[in-house]
Amino acid sequence: MTSSAHLTGSTQIVSLTTDYGLADGFVAACHGVIARLAPTLRVIDVTHLVPPGDIRRGAVVLAQTVPYLPVGVHVAVVDPGVGTARRGIALATPGGLLVGPDNGLLIDAAAALGGVTEAVELTNPRWLAERVSATFHGRDVFAPVAARLASGAPLSEAGAAVEVSTLIRLPEPVVEVRPDGFTAEVLTVDHFGNVQLAAPADLLLALPARVRIRPVGEQTWEHVVVHGRTFGDASPGALVAHPDSAGRVALSANGGRAAEVLGVAAGTLLRVDGLADC
């Protein structure tokens, strides 16, 4: 995309991913701003139940979802630094546009859409609300920018160009490979209690049919689990290590919640070792 990057066609959409929850009117206000500016746009709600301020969780959900959405403008707001000096940004990729705070939230999604080809800071006051709240940029900054971009306005009009190398990035999750296995950080825990590791699935596929799971650190527990394709490859209630739908290593419990069985959360380091077949 060039400096006049914009969307064209009849399938223009805006997606919304936030930590706003569903108990208040925050999501509806964002919908309303978009509808006032561009009533024919389609809005897709990815989720508004990202844990408050959990940028990593928001980034994971966004990156694993956007490849399956129509080409459009993807707004993400998990923004504990709202109103501070952190930048509001819009990013162009081969697969669409991303709008949100410059706090690392958008970068993995941009990679999933082909990589950042252009970035701007949202500095054009004509594209924002007349009065911008210091605490609600989703409504006053990101929603109106997204509506204009999804309607075909050029990205270059949203604000000043930003060097891609200056964009904030989250720390890379830990993945360490060994001849007999690997160590990986828990990337996220989903609604079902499945534990997704940062390790790509091919690291698990190279191991035997049984693997040992142990924490890295002071805890001393361990679980020996089967290495399978899906939840039903373990007996009811038992754990299974398997490739998940995002192409990463996951730990699940057949009919249960693996995160509770293991006592782990995002950020926990786990060691996975292959066990020789008996």
| Per-residue pLDDT tens digits for 20-70 | 999 999 999 999 999 999 999 999 999 999 999 999 999 999 999 999 999
Provide the pLDDT for residue 8. 57
- Flag the least confident range among 2-6, 79-83, 88-92: 2-6
190/73 same-domain check: no
- Flag the least confident range among 8-12, 80-84, 148-152: 8-12
Q: Answer with the one of 122, 146, 166 that is the final residue of a domain.
A: 166
120/222 same-domain check: no
Provide the pLDDT for residue 219. 75
- Domain holding 242, by residue range, is 175-275
How much is the average pLDDT of 221-248?
94
Inside any domain, residue 142: yes
Give Cβ neighbours of residue 79 (< 8 Å, ≥ 6 apart): 86, 100, 101, 103, 105, 137, 138
38/129 same-domain check: yes
230/133 same-domain check: no
The pTM of the full predicted model, rounded to 2 decimals, is 0.93
Inside any domain, residue 1: no
Buried b (16+ CB within 10 A) or exposed e, 98-108: bbbbbbbbbbb
147/62 same-domain check: yes
- Cα separation, 110 vs 114, in Å, equals 6
Q: Is the pLDDT reported for residue 12 higher than 90?
A: no
63/136 same-domain check: yes
Handedness of CA 66, 68, 71, 73 (dihedral sign): negative
Provide the pLDDT for residue 44. 98
Inside any domain, residue 241: yes
66/135 same-domain check: yes
Inside any domain, residue 28: yes
**Token output for 32:** 């309303």
How much is the average pLDDT of 213-240?
92
Q: Answer with the one of 166, 190, 209 that is the final residue of a domain.
A: 166
Inside any domain, residue 146: yes
- The rounded mean pLDDT for the chain is 94
**Token output for 214:** 């142990």
71/183 same-domain check: no
161/180 same-domain check: no
**Token output for 23:** 């108990």
- Cα separation, 150 vs 127, in Å, equals 13
Report the CATH number at residue 236. 2.40.30.90
Inside any domain, residue 34: yes
For 85-115, how does the pLDDT look when each residue is reduced to its tens digit (9 = 90+)?
999 999 999 999 999 999 999 999 999 999 9
For 104-143, how does the pLDDT look when each residue is reduced to its tens digit (9 = 90+)?
999 999 999 999 999 999 999 999 999 999 999 999 999 9
125/158 same-domain check: yes
Give Cβ neighbours of residue 20 (< 8 Å, ≥ 6 apart): 26, 27, 30, 48, 77, 138
148/18 same-domain check: yes
Report the CATH number at residue 86. 3.40.50.10790
- What's the number of domains the chain is made of? 2
130/28 same-domain check: yes
How much is the average pLDDT of 257-274?
95
Q: Answer with the one of 110, 142, 166 that is the final residue of a domain.
A: 166
Inside any domain, residue 105: yes
Whether the CB-CB separation of 54 and 19 falls below 8 Å is answered with yes
Inside any domain, residue 139: yes
